Structure 1
């Protein structure tokens, strides 16, 4: 029995915490053998460099207990808050900040929001950290703009949490939403943090998607690049590009990158990141990957290699059809859901591609999710 966390039995975030880490790895490798493994060779899973304190993004909620305010974790199954003064998979920095904030909120009479009565203001706090630079951001999420004593609170926050480099308030008026809102106001600092991943700099804003396990992400991306076999002459498609991490890292070894992402805010971040790194051989487009791939086929555009990193639901069949018509020599499929990945591999198999090899990575120790990278090549 793995008692790495005193809250393990009550919290449903770490579904595999009752297993030893070796058994967790065996379980996740088995999942990959069960799904993409039916179509290709599955290599030994790559363990996470860290199995506690690995999350660079921590989300906390708060509740009133007697005469104090306590931090805790949101249990989506019951829509309740489980009081916890720390989380074992979050960093010591994040745990210290959320504990300090609980005392600050109470002293400033900032009360937790109740979605049923719509009373209170505080919905949640998100702590984001840049592992390579040590920069730390606090995102305080509230129900409206009426945060009390903002200036005095900011001064107290900087004194209580000197490790913070920036703090932001966001407003989310949706009664059912607890986490980061769209309207934001910077309390101090730049409102962003900057991390370094595989040698490239990335600006992270409050709403940016960024992989939560920095060191393991580097290993995963290095494997993806190795499988792509870029020589400097390739035209690359980076689908579901987010803030541009894979495309920017690959750009040093490619001739040109087409990067496409549906979220306009992520594209804005990606363009800033390309500029920050002095990269001019990548074009970011805010569009549905399916529509963009179709436009490229209509233009008879050349694509030699494709990186695809879709959400858990996987790719649409129309995107995969357009991708196959582009006829890249190699497709690198990164997935956080081996089941939908296997489904898409079968579709690509019918469209002329062969799944060659799958590399599993444990991106989320103690949680049930498994990340995998699959190489596909064109059939003869």
Structure 2
């Protein structure tokens, strides 16, 4: 008996089989969910920490396990043109396939403590919870959902069965085959465009801008789900006028003028505690640059500034949705999302009236919903 044998990781032992991997000639297996292409020996985890090798297969260690659930305003994702004012049931798991030094959710995305995933629920239970709490959609967020792809697509399928929409909040760092399956189930996406140079992505995220651009183009041109972009402006890193000019010009040319772009404020966190908060003036300057370069819908986030947080008609310039942070005020949209002033169609997914959820956030436990859902399944 080998007393020095490595103990079996119970999370890997009890994990569910994953997709998108291939065996290599050297005996390792390669994960093909994201461009990182982690190559694993038995018992090893990928950089994301949640996809691992068990024997001759890849497994997902976080299927059915979440770091918590919360009912948020849809504007918090942020999505300003997708069912405004409605509540969204949000959840995430643990881990991430990027290494952003400025991560604002690092306690979840960088977690290596799997015992923090205490709230467990089957896909059908999450869909039932969204229904029973009046949520119009479920958001896969807090950490990047591409790394728990198998769980996310099963939850999304269950949501669609009961008329609940699906929202992905993601950095878009994913390979083609996995990209197609994952986004096929999504009705709306907020894509985190972290900066607009390869140097920024390499230095601060150990990732690639080109791969994220490819995902953005795929979503807008091929998948045609609703897409909004977010860039967190970090002082001295990605907030120069030249970079914002280049970013906004690319969005206009590659994605079109109707794709909303959010510039949000950074606060010191994780491994970038030495950076100051983003001044509101920086966000407002970025807003002006985006508008100058032809983008119809540019927003500032994480600050109270109603003029740059609101939606304007590209036809007549009328304010059609007043918005301060996550709180709606003015509403000038008619049937089908048309401006009541001039009749111009506003890009997005709108209903005749906005929701009334407001700014509130409401953490919930899925235990009771899961128990009731399981009882219903057993009774059938």
Question: Is TM more than 0.5 here?
Answer: no
TM-score by length of 2: 0.31
**Between Structure 1 and Structure 2, which shows a larger proportion of strand residues?**
1
TM-score by length of 1: 0.31
